[in-house]
Structure 1
Amino acid sequence: MSSIPSLLRDRIAATPDAEAYRVPADDGWTSLTWTEVGERVRGLALGLAELGAGPGRRVSILCSTRLEWILSDLAVLATGAATTTIYPSNTAAESAFVITDSGSTIVIAENDDQVAKIRSVQKELPDVTHVVVIDGSASDDGWVITLDSLSGSGQERDYDAMIGAIGSDDLATLIYTSGTTGRPKGVELTHDNWLYAAGSVRELDLISSADLHFLWLPLSHSFGKLLEVVMIDIGVPTAIDGRLDKIADNLGVLQPTFMAAAPRIFEKIHNTVAATQQREGGLKLRIFNWARESGIRVSRARQRGAAIPLTTRAEYALADRLVFSKLRARFGGRVRFFISGAAPLSKDIAEFFDAAGLPILEGYGLTESSAGSFLNHPDTVKFGTVGPPLPGTQVRIAEDGEVLIGGRGIMRGYHGLPEETAQALEDGWLHTGDIGELDSEGRLSITDRKKELIKTSGGKYVAPTYLEGRIKAACPYVSHVFVHGDRRNYVTALVTLDMDVVKPWAEAESLPADAGALREHPRMLEEVDKAIKQVNADQASYATIKKFAILAEDFTVETGELTPSLKIKRKAVEERHGETLDSFYA
């Protein structure tokens, strides 16, 4: 096949009556077959074509993760146009930039609130002919029309001919990198980029049509988009619900066999479990700590390839029955593995989940490499690595330690930015900006971002994300950690609290239940200090954190301190909290 629409057509022909998607409904969940998906995509595509979508055009989608995002995306692609993705959390100005820079002429918006956002910058969008709203009302001036009305138009066009005209090198997606620094750049990804990435995952033989995939990740992000194409390629049914506050409930109800997530989700699960046990204390806490230690011993033995003594196996079986089996049941009882990407996963978190019989397969890729370039395999998973390259992906390490990637998954370039494209694709390799190394088995370890390494005034290099992950794993009450010290004489940290986890503990301990008061309380400071000292014990003196402060508010996407994929925007944090950071060195 030469395109994503032709991939969908092949999937429908192969398994027409199999379940494709499962979505929330008033009375639970309802399903669509691949045939039903194909019919809905066809109607939307013909309607979009009537509005002017087609080869060489772009259509922006401003919507959270839901079935209609996928149907709209597939419909846009079927016209020969390319999809431009916009995070629903983007401001009106940020959305306007993406729409105008990409040259989008149609915007598909989730609801009236998102339409209002676009309407507020309408004067800046002279090329946008229509806004199509999924859950909302049409406007009197005809600029806004509904998705339902769209799907009933355009029936005179030849749908199969539209699909047949799409070439593998045609632009499929424009994804604007959220970026921890600088202005977003539009990454141009072709149909072949996505088909290669999906096919390489299929070659790993990790999943099959017998699985159930739970998808909540932002489809505006390349990781979510890759999962969309992979599931079509393999024919895996996908349950879709982008509401973050429903993840835990959905896992229990749906009983999926695998789910992908950013590390922050696994950190939050780990911290919630650990804090609950600490709050209950007594015998339950002792049993939990004993089970955790037993499980981690077994996990580390497996990592070394060492034999596990009979007595240790018996102890672990008891720990599993008393503790870990209950944790797995909370996730539906059928999870074979999780997949982690978008940011580094702490080795401590990976060990805990592995001990519980819930292995996390960490992977690695950039938007510029179609999201998927490396992935651990269940049989050979190595914590602290992102696994070997996917089939067909080439990798080499530059003299300065930067990871370089080659292969069919590499982007066509940055939209309208030839100089930046040439720099990123120098010598035919994608320069990732990440520092890493390969082990004897070809597995890649990412040590840090090339531009984010801290160089102290003493000339020593420190990897901040490594320290941040360790601290978050060591203290269940911590939400985010920002390690600072570039060109300073020692390393310091800003810490934010996860109030969902902290509040029950604080109330049980008769402590203030709001972050503003709690941040300076001796008990809270003691808990964070204990975690930092635990992490410092394993570090060279120049890499130890000498001072820290707990902030009154968490980092969020809305305040500009996190990217939509929940990575810290380091420059934004330094600017917003510069006074606090400077006080560490006064």
Structure 2
Amino acid sequence: MNLETSVGRMFLDRAARTPHREAFRYRDGTGWCSLTWAETERHVRRLAAGLIALGVRPEQRVAIVAGTRYEWIAADLAIMCAGAATTTVYPTTNGDGVAYILADSDSQVVFAEDAVQLAKLRAHRDSIPQVRNVVLLDGTAPDDDWVLGLAELEHRGDALLELDPSAVDDRVGAIAADRLATIIYTSGTTGVPKGVRLRHSGWAYQASAVASQGFLSADDLHFLWLPMAHAFGKVLLSLQLAVGFPTAVDGRVEHIVDNLADVRPTWMAAAPRIFEKAYARIVTTMEQQGGLRKRLFDWAFAVGTVVSRLRRDGGTPGPLLAARHRVADRLVLAKVRKRFGGRIRFLVSGSAALNTGIAEWFHAAGVLILEGYGLTETTAAATINRPDHFRFGTVGPPLPGTEVRIAEDGEVLIRGAGVMAGYHNLDKDTAGALDADGWLHTGDLGERDPDGLIRITGRKKELFKTSGGKYIAPSAIESRFIAICPYASQFFVHGDGRNYCTALVTLDADAVAGWARQRGKPDRDHASVVRLVTSYVDILNAELNRWETIKKFAVLDREFSVESGELTPSLKVRRKVVEDNNRATLDAFYTA
């Protein structure tokens, strides 16, 4: 496992090894364009030289404020090849947030996606005096010295390379593995975001550790939609450099289903919410159709579930069960797989906990979801299940070279090459997270099963205690309800210091509309919707300990969103924001 390398060197080595193989596909209008590694290298060299021509020095920060797209990847690789460090910024970040991150990171140049992102920068230009240039990815750059178009940056790179052909190679050759590669600002469920300083060696370790497991090859086809501003999305690029598979890129979440049908990838990574929504859409559609189709669907999944459990226990179906399974697969299960393109070998889930019931449902359909676990502070993955060694409900064993220890209070501690260098400009916070022996204190609670697989049981800061002294892990209850109720979008459990638990429920508008149409009711008939949710809360409560049961709930008229501040860009719930936004409703649960 070679950690004495840089991301720039990994990229140039990959292009040299497989120059004529496909590297990337990206949307161009209604179709897809393809680039080889050699073509990508030529583009990246021009951009990297352009950054050097702008005066970007080694380890200086260059920010990217854009959604997931090929140009994001090209910009990041160019920053790496210029010897600089990438500051990642979610495009949904408001102007004040963007200005804070750019100022705190001391970013000198910014890649901005479009006029919307440029407007944020212009509005806060006085707060970011260190930003020398903005490079606009889309649209025509205005006629001033501050903003360049992408083509202008390439032309400046061409001019530099004509004078100094080795400029980029010299920068890459001078990058030490322990140098700063990336600052990723944690979206954070509370407080101001913190910049996590990640080294080149951390990305190289991640790529080597996952690639060494042998379940990916250059013949795989990856579909990428995850935010590249998040460590989970960013690590997939390092993995691609190590393995050499092509990646089709389109970050527009609303186009995932259509893109999967077009691209027909062999694997994809996603946050649990994507799998939850796919599960809910399929199940509610079948419920709305009812009749013979619904009975056939239920029968097929019952057969698929038996076969799934048998195979996970190391067995094989007998002749009669195998015959039934072939029929179930042909009539129902294969159609579920086709929604993901029909060629998926496995899916990867990360960023938040995946409900075991949903993982089992997908496996019954012949779709394996491998759950992993990591943090921005561990350069993404620390543990992951493998296709030949997995257990639902766990996040798998640690990656080779990563140590995981469970502290006396249940906190998960991690040590290894992927652990961050520290928080940017926050020495006190760094000292609080990294102890003298190099262990990262994650803030997550977990346990190790007899086979060495890690199970995450909750978040220390989210754990609350009722007035009766009982501890509650709300996320475990929330994910269980989402698996039970296909109409739910979010389920928020509350009860810190109270004498019982309550909940806020948001619903999937399309699913509820379909349910209402089938029954001839308005989809906003509140009384009917409450009765629907009550039936699922009753099912949930039957599975919980008495002190965990939900005594009261309210159905909200909107979903939590990134725009409202209630979700992070990686779709994690900001609990304090949800509580503050719904304080009157929550307090009313305990006054009646």
Judge same fold: TM > 0.5, yes or no. Answer: yes
Amino acid at match of 1:133: L
| Alpha-carbon offset, residue 208 of structure 1 | 0.4
| SS of residue matched to 2:303 | helix
Q: Which runs of 5+ in 1 are unaligned?
A: none
1:313 aligns with 2:313: no
Q: Distance in 1 between matches of 2:35 and 2:510?
A: 35
Q: 1:102 aligns to what?
A: 105
Map of 1:300-379 to 2, 5 A cutoff? 300-306=309-315, 308-379=317-388
Amino acid at match of 2:219: A
Stretch deviating more after TM superposition (113-122 or 257-266): 113-122
| SS of residue matched to 1:152 | helix
Distance 1:288 1:114, change over 3 A: same
1:480 to 467, 490, 497: 490
Amino acid at match of 1:57: Q
**1:292 touches 1:355 (CA, 8 Å); kept in 2?**
yes
Q: 1:540 aligns to what?
A: 545
| SS of residue matched to 1:162 | helix
1:144 to 143, 147, 159: 147
1:454 aligns with 2:464: yes
| Alpha-carbon offset, residue 159 of structure 1 | 1.4
Q: 1:526 aligns to what?
A: 531
Q: 1:200 aligns to what?
A: 209
Stretch deviating more after TM superposition (467-476 or 300-309): 300-309
| Alpha-carbon offset, residue 466 of structure 1 | 1.1
Q: Distance in 2 between matches of 1:292 and 1:569?
A: 35
String of CA shifts for 1:437-468, please: whole Å, max 9, x gaps: 00111100000001101211111111111111
String of CA shifts for 1:253-274, please: whole Å, max 9, x gaps: 1110000000000000000000
String of CA shifts for 1:90-126, please: whole Å, max 9, x gaps: 0000101100000001111001111011111111111
Map of 1:404-483 to 2, 5 A cutoff? 404-427=413-436, 428-483=438-493
2:118 to 90, 115, 118: 115
Amino acid at match of 2:535: K
| SS of residue matched to 1:239 | strand
Amino acid at match of 1:521: A
Q: 1:134 aligns to what?
A: 137
| Alpha-carbon offset, residue 306 of structure 1 | 4.9
Distance 1:57 1:441, change over 3 A: same
1:551 aligns with 2:517: no
**1:53 touches 1:76 (CA, 8 Å); kept in 2?**
no
| SS of residue matched to 2:64 | strand
Q: 1:383 aligns to what?
A: 392
1:233 aligns with 2:239: no
Stretch deviating more after TM superposition (440-449 or 132-141): 132-141
**2:59 touches 2:181 (CA, 8 Å); kept in 1?**
no
Map of 1:151-190 to 2, 5 A cutoff? 151-153=154-156, 154-155=160-161, 156-157=163-164, 158-190=167-199
Q: 1:561 aligns to what?
A: 566
Q: Distance in 1 between matches of 2:322 and 2:198?
A: 48
Amino acid at match of 1:53: V
| Alpha-carbon offset, residue 302 of structure 1 | 3.1
Q: 2:11 aligns to what?
A: 8
Q: 1:297 aligns to what?
A: 306
1:255 aligns with 2:264: yes
Map of 1:47-126 to 2, 5 A cutoff? 47-126=50-129
1:573 aligns with 2:582: no
| Alpha-carbon offset, residue 187 of structure 1 | 0.1
String of CA shifts for 1:350-403, please: whole Å, max 9, x gaps: 011000000100000000001011110111210000000011110100000000
Q: 2:587 aligns to what?
A: 582
Q: Distance in 1 between matches of 2:312 and 2:253?
A: 32
| SS of residue matched to 1:135 | coil
Amino acid at match of 2:177: S
Amino acid at match of 2:244: G
Q: Distance in 2 between matches of 1:135 and 1:23?
A: 15
| Alpha-carbon offset, residue 546 of structure 1 | 1.1
| SS of residue matched to 1:362 | strand
String of CA shifts for 1:277-332, please: whole Å, max 9, x gaps: 01101111111112222222222333344554443333222221211011112221
Q: Distance in 2 between matches of 1:502 and 1:212?
A: 35
Distance 1:409 1:488, change over 3 A: same
Amino acid at match of 1:83: T
1:31 to 34, 57, 78: 34
String of CA shifts for 1:481-513, please: whole Å, max 9, x gaps: 111111111111101011132223323323223
Stretch deviating more after TM superposition (318-327 or 241-250): 318-327
Stretch deviating more after TM superposition (524-533 or 244-253): 524-533
Q: Distance in 2 between matches of 1:488 and 1:511?
A: 36
Amino acid at match of 1:443: L
Q: Distance in 2 between matches of 1:271 and 1:27?
A: 28
Amino acid at match of 2:503: A
| Alpha-carbon offset, residue 425 of structure 1 | 0.4
Q: Distance in 2 between matches of 1:137 and 1:542?
A: 60
Name the count of aligned residue pairs.
Answer: 581
Amino acid at match of 2:544: Q
Quick one: percent identity of the two aligned structures?
A: 52
String of CA shifts for 1:46-88, please: whole Å, max 9, x gaps: 1111112121310110000000000000111111110000000
Q: Distance in 2 between matches of 1:105 and 1:2?
A: 25
RMSD between superposed Cα atoms in Å: 1.2
